Amino acid sequence: MQLKPVSLDVIAEAREEAQAVLAALMARLAPGEHVVRLGVDMEGLERPLSATVAFTVEGDGGADDLVGAEAKYLDNFVFLLTCGLAQTLCSGVLYLRSQEAGRVTVRAWHLCWGALQECPAGEAAELLGEREPGVYLDAFGLHADDDGDVEEDEGEAVYPPVAYTVL
């Protein structure tokens, strides 16, 4: 497999964005059990690379909730997401499966051209099919704006600068 060369600045920026994406995702988790899976496909691979991290959130849904996850899985997840964000020719899917109050929900995001794009519930159901049974919900925004805040409005998404790089 031959990856396109990427500068150290692009890698550093992609790693910061991957960490911000994960932080934005974790901030939206309600008390319960959650699993986040990421699959990234690159040219020359026989099958996509994947990373999985499980989160347990304990609390009452407030700012003091405890979020637990194993560090090695978090590191692997951030590394693979960094690669996907830095290598603009990668594609993939990130999805969140949550079990809260006895109900299983699923949200998904496309990874394309160095950015994650939210999937509406119907698109996520088509994308994941019967592989992930549950109630499909619209995904929320995960990318940070220039100030490091996650975009809350439903307007045009602000992607990392690498997403606008012309090849």
Please provide the DSSP assignment of 10-42 as one string: HHHHHHHHHHHHHHHHHHTPPSEEEEEEEEEE-
Structural contact between residues 165 and 85, judged by C-beta atoms closer than 8 angstroms: no
Flag whether pLDDT at 135 surpasses 90.
yes
pLDDT at 78: 95
Beta strands in 23-126 (DSSP E): 32-41, 49-58, 66-68, 91-100, 103-112, 115-118
In terms of DSSP bridges, do strands 115-118 and 66-68 run parallel, antiparallel, or are they unpaired?
unpaired
- Average pLDDT of every residue of the chain: 83
Q: How confident is the model at residue 114 (pLDDT cuts 50, 70, 90)?
A: confident
The 10s digit of each residue's pLDDT in 43-75 is 777 888 999 999 998 888 777 777 888 889 999
pTM of the predicted protein model: 0.79
pLDDT at 161: 41
Structural contact between residues 2 and 71, judged by C-beta atoms closer than 8 angstroms: no
Flag whether pLDDT at 17 surpasses 60.
yes
**CA 29 to CA 61: how far, in whole Å?**
8
Q: How confident is the model at residue 157 (pLDDT cuts 50, 70, 90)?
A: very low
Task: Give residue limits of the domains in the chain.
Answer: 8-152
Count of CB atoms situated within 10 Å of the CB of 63? 6
Flag whether pLDDT at 165 surpasses 70.
no
